[in-house]
Chains A and B, each alone.
Chain A
Amino acid sequence: MSTHADTHEHHHEPGLQHQFEDMKQQEESVSIGMWMFLVQEIMFFGGLFTAYLVFRSKYPMAFAAGSNHLDVVMGFVNTLVLIVSSLTMALTVYYAQKGNRNMQVILILLTMFFGTVFLGIKAVEYTDKYNHGVVPVTGLNRVVKAPSGSGESNLEFEQTYAGLSSSEPAKPASGEHEYVNPKGEFQWHEFELIEHTVKEQEENPSAHLLTDNEKIAYFSNDKFDQNKFRDKVRIFFFIYFVMTGLHALHMIVGLGLMTWLLWKAWKNTFSAEYYMPVEMSGLYWHFVDIVWIFLFPLLYLLGRHFIHS
């Protein structure tokens, strides 16, 4: 495309690889390559979004319940943090194009700082989920001992367990829920909203409060079944963990990239002529931001309005 057959005098430019004729060709190649990579990433997350879509349309109430359990404030703050980091990233590119080393270094550090804050908040959230026993994998939740005095038999565990789960939401005792979870299993005790909805639906059969699918999926022998509902909430949390987990993994890779950039910027590598690495890392960083822009409403906000109605 932009090659010239006659000249071979191109070896003066920094960072030009042997297979290219000139910088322009190289930049174009790298940029297209990065965009193709992002396309690939979009499809990768796309599979998860499809799963989200399918299950949300199957079990909207369970998803709302699960979503309401998430900490909106943390999600909200995290969204802002990521947006700030996107701004600093964009400015990094801006200053790299200007060849301003100090600003680059400062902004990269800031970007990394906000990225780390994001991950930190995420870690707090995850720990919280661990403590509340809503990690959908058995064994990855906090093990809660039975109140002292209870025997060793499984039966007794189950009785305590059943008693708690069907009663009003477990009372906070010294900041913790008082439930029994010997194996670190998935826990779910919040049934007011759904039980309320079920009742309304039964009183008013023509209303569309539950979907046809839900009218089967949450019921056993025509009665609302907490266990079946719990399974569906568990699916929400599974999707939540896979999506945010994969997103966090991308953040970590992004931080790695930033470290490398920092090193390069420190050595003052970038200039108006050569700033591709910054620009490309920026594309990646913004992409990860965009994923979160969708995750926030889809995971944290989807059922909020039920609480307030």
Chain B
Amino acid sequence: MQTQDAIIPGSAPEPKLNYLTNGSTLRSWLLTKDHKRIAIMYLITVSLFFMMGGMYAAAIRLELLTPASDLLQSGTYNKVFTQHGILMIFFFLIPSIPAILGNFLIPLMIGAKDLALPRVNLLSLYIYWIGGALTLWALMQGGVDTGWTFYAPYSTTFSNTYVMAVGLGIFINGFSSILTGLNFIVTIHTMRAPGMTWFRLPLFVWAHYATSLVMILGTPVVAITILLLALERVAHIGIFDPTVGGDPILFQHLFWFYSHPAVYIMILPGMGVISELISSFSRKKIFGYEFIAFSSIAIAVFGFLVWGHHMFVSGQSIYAGLVFSFLTMVVAVPSAIKVFNWTATLYKGSISYDTPMLYALGFLGLFLIGGLTGLFLGSVGLTVHLTDTYFIVAHFHYVMVGGQVIAYLGGIHYWWPKITGRMYSEFWGKISAMLVFVGFNLTFFPQFILGYQGMPRRYASYPEEFQVLNIFSTAGASVLGVGLIMPVIYLTHSLIFGKKAGDNPWILPGLEWRTSSPPPTENFEVMPVVTWEAYDFSDENGLDIDEIKRQQAELATA
């Protein structure tokens, strides 16, 4: 706790227990109210879902190696991409950064002992588990083949797979997301340490505030939509079924009312991480703090106005198509502001290239491409050609994998020493970051070309002229796979064999770096009082640099 000494004289002695060692029974984990332990449990489950989703991805890519549907029959293939999408989106990407890093770090960053509603936090973990278990059970029973979008009337009347069970799993899981968002909003409002004003909050916290808004306002709508879908399936009630007067387009409206904003649930937290990384590794106050903060809110709000851009060819009116296209363009501007501000932050910085920074720079390039191709899709005349082709598959993998997953990996590396108290191997970290970058581009860039060529998505077999590019894509996926497996190995390895990291390995001013690594259950021995701005690298930030360097030297010799 030496760092604290600088602020509050006469602080407590070295903590004996940290959150990991404070109780080792299974019960002490399962009934914990500690946000850090809950985050760890999320980390483990979310990773499992990621691996499962990744295996489905491998199956997709292998099947698409050849034009015929030879490895997987089309029935199986349909299930594979559906389950890939469902697991990756609902059970991996949506909880990834918020439920793991957000959960772990928000109280630390704002100087609180815990989230405002710890029991609700634990409840949300359990809900996630129940929803996940139900979904896994349904997948084992035979799975589902509707596509992750569950379009009616295929999902309501025609598919004879486990639509209900999987739907129920997602329905339940939705409440986990709602509760997490609710908790974050309350926490950010009421739990900030003295002196931690709104404009001293790290941008990571702002991003999560915006994410939480979307979670609370959007997720209930998809919940009710799935409920209606289920009722339609059991009772053939005619709300989505056109044979008795229902309206399948209504399903799409309700679904995308959530699912477009949900793509911002899947990128805003990543943007928050990137803001931290870029500032930390250029050792500079972030450029245009207020603009980045407010652009997060703007994205969350405007994100609710554009859902119809997924329905340009669905039969919605020409007028609606134009309005949605227009607003889609508007919502791209706040993202542009962020990208420019991040770039400007590098200017005259003192940039170092630790693994997290490599990920951050990778994010910049990949999100750029992903976002710009979003503009292609938002331009309605062009989307008419592009929609439901591989162009879209490429677009959303660029933003989701190139954006959020890369940010997630960067964040995990960056806070790994804080979470575990150990340092991972920089060497392997850099190699894997580069493999991921190269493999990713090789996998998904060819898909843009394929898409413009006209190769439709969700195809188990395709005309032969598309094969060459598909081979590139599959080859890329194997590189990507290797790049992603490596962190699993060296991060686990570092848990036991890694160097001790020290409290503040990167010498940073953020509050989370001012407690010990791993932090004690109560987060701070002494409640902090914040007197410095966010990303304050000046001498007024209350850090005792010499003391930190001394500690680091000590660790190096030990």
A and B touch in the complex (CB under 8 A): yes
Taking Cβ atoms with an 8 Å cutoff, the residues of A that contact B are: 1-5, 17-21, 25, 28-29, 32-33, 36-37, 39-41, 43-48, 50-51, 54-55, 58-59, 136-138, 217, 228, 231-232, 234-235, 238-239, 242
Report the separation of the CA atoms of residues A36 and B179 in the bound assembly, to the nearest whole angstrom. 9
Contacting B238 at CB < 8 Å: which of A5, A29, A50, A234? A234
12 example contacts (A-B, Cβ-Cβ < 8 A) are as follows A1-B190, A1-B192, A2-B190, A5-B193, A17-B118, A19-B113, A43-B221, A51-B250, A51-B254, A137-B235, A138-B236, A238-B237
With A5-B526, A136-B237, A231-B244 known as contacts, the answer to whether A50 contacts B253 (CB < 8 A) is yes
The dominant DSSP class at the A interface is helix
Report the separation of the CA atoms of residues A231 and B243 in the bound assembly, to the nearest whole angstrom. 9
Report the separation of the CA atoms of residues A41 and B223 in the bound assembly, to the nearest whole angstrom. 11
Report the separation of the CA atoms of residues A17 and B529 in the bound assembly, to the nearest whole angstrom. 21
**Residues of B close to A59: CB separation below 8 A:** 245
Contacting A47 at CB < 8 Å: which of B192, B216, B224? B224
Given contacts A32-B185, A234-B238, 9 further A-B contacts (CB under 8 A): A1-B189, A1-B192, A3-B527, A19-B116, A32-B190, A40-B219, A40-B220, A47-B228, A242-B231
Q: Verify A238–B112 contact, CB threshold 8 A.
A: no
**Residues of A close to B245: CB separation below 8 A:** 59, 217, 228, 231-232, 234-235
B residues 103-142 near A (Cβ < 8 Å) are: 112-118, 120
Shortest CB distance A5–B (Å): 5
Report the separation of the CA atoms of residues A136 and B236 in the bound assembly, to the nearest whole angstrom. 9
Shortest CB distance A169–B (Å): 22
**Residues of B close to A3: CB separation below 8 A:** 191, 193-194, 527
Report the separation of the CA atoms of residues A5 and B528 in the bound assembly, to the nearest whole angstrom. 7
**Residues of B close to A28: CB separation below 8 A:** 189-190
B349 CB within 8 Å of chain A: no
**Residues of A close to B220: CB separation below 8 A:** 40-41, 43-44, 46-47
**Residues of B close to A2: CB separation below 8 A:** 190
Contacting A25 at CB < 8 Å: which of B190, B246, B253? B190
Taking Cβ atoms with an 8 Å cutoff, the residues of B that contact A are: 8, 112-118, 120, 178, 181-183, 185-187, 189-194, 216-221, 223-225, 228, 231, 234-239, 244-247, 250, 253-254, 257, 526-529
Report the separation of the CA atoms of residues A19 and B34 in the bound assembly, to the nearest whole angstrom. 10
With A19-B114, A217-B245 known as contacts, the answer to whether A32 contacts B189 (CB < 8 A) is yes
Q: Verify B216–A48 contact, CB threshold 8 A.
A: no
Counting from the closest, the 8 A-B pairs by CB-CB distance are A47-B224, A44-B220, A19-B114, A43-B220, A29-B116, A137-B235, A231-B244, A231-B245
**Residues of A close to B238: CB separation below 8 A:** 136, 231, 234-235, 238
Contacting A29 at CB < 8 Å: which of B191, B224, B528? B191
**Residues of A close to B219: CB separation below 8 A:** 40
Report the separation of the CA atoms of residues A235 and B216 in the bound assembly, to the nearest whole angstrom. 29
With A5-B527, A40-B216, A235-B238 known as contacts, the answer to whether A33 contacts B186 (CB < 8 A) is yes
**Residues of B close to A54: CB separation below 8 A:** 247, 250
Report the separation of the CA atoms of residues A59 and B237 in the bound assembly, to the nearest whole angstrom. 15
Q: Which residue of B lies closest to A217 (CB)?
A: B245
With A1-B192, A39-B216, A54-B247 known as contacts, the answer to whether A238 contacts B116 (CB < 8 A) is no
The dominant DSSP class at the B interface is helix
With A47-B228, A217-B245 known as contacts, the answer to whether A39 contacts B190 (CB < 8 A) is no
Q: Verify B247–A58 contact, CB threshold 8 A.
A: yes
With A18-B113, A36-B182 known as contacts, the answer to whether A235 contacts B194 (CB < 8 A) is no
Report the separation of the CA atoms of residues A20 and B107 in the bound assembly, to the nearest whole angstrom. 12
Contacting A39 at CB < 8 Å: which of B114, B217, B244? B217
Report the separation of the CA atoms of residues A43 and B8 in the bound assembly, to the nearest whole angstrom. 46
From A2, A29, A228, residue with most partner B Cβ within 10 Å: A29
Q: Which residue of A lies closest to B234 (CB)?
A: A137
Contacting B221 at CB < 8 Å: which of A1, A29, A46, A55? A46
Report the separation of the CA atoms of residues A239 and B231 in the bound assembly, to the nearest whole angstrom. 11
**Residues of B close to A4: CB separation below 8 A:** 194
Report the separation of the CA atoms of residues A185 and B114 in the bound assembly, to the nearest whole angstrom. 55
**Residues of B close to A51: CB separation below 8 A:** 228, 239, 250, 254
**Residues of B close to A17: CB separation below 8 A:** 118
Shortest CB distance B35–A (Å): 9
Q: Verify B224–A5 contact, CB threshold 8 A.
A: no
Q: Which residue of A lies closest to B225 (CB)?
A: A47
Q: Which residue of A lies closest to B221 (CB)?
A: A47
**Residues of B close to A231: CB separation below 8 A:** 238, 244-245
Report the separation of the CA atoms of residues A235 and B235 in the bound assembly, to the nearest whole angstrom. 12
Contacting B186 at CB < 8 Å: which of A5, A29, A138? A29
Shortest CB distance B303–A (Å): 14
**Residues of B close to A45: CB separation below 8 A:** 224
**Residues of B close to A242: CB separation below 8 A:** 228, 231
Contacting B218 at CB < 8 Å: which of A18, A43, A48, A58? A43
Shortest CB distance A253–B (Å): 14
Q: Verify A19–B112 contact, CB threshold 8 A.
A: yes
**Residues of A close to B221: CB separation below 8 A:** 43-44, 46-47
Q: Verify B190–A5 contact, CB threshold 8 A.
A: no
Contacting B237 at CB < 8 Å: which of A33, A44, A234? A234
Q: Which residue of B lies closest to A33 (CB)?
A: B186
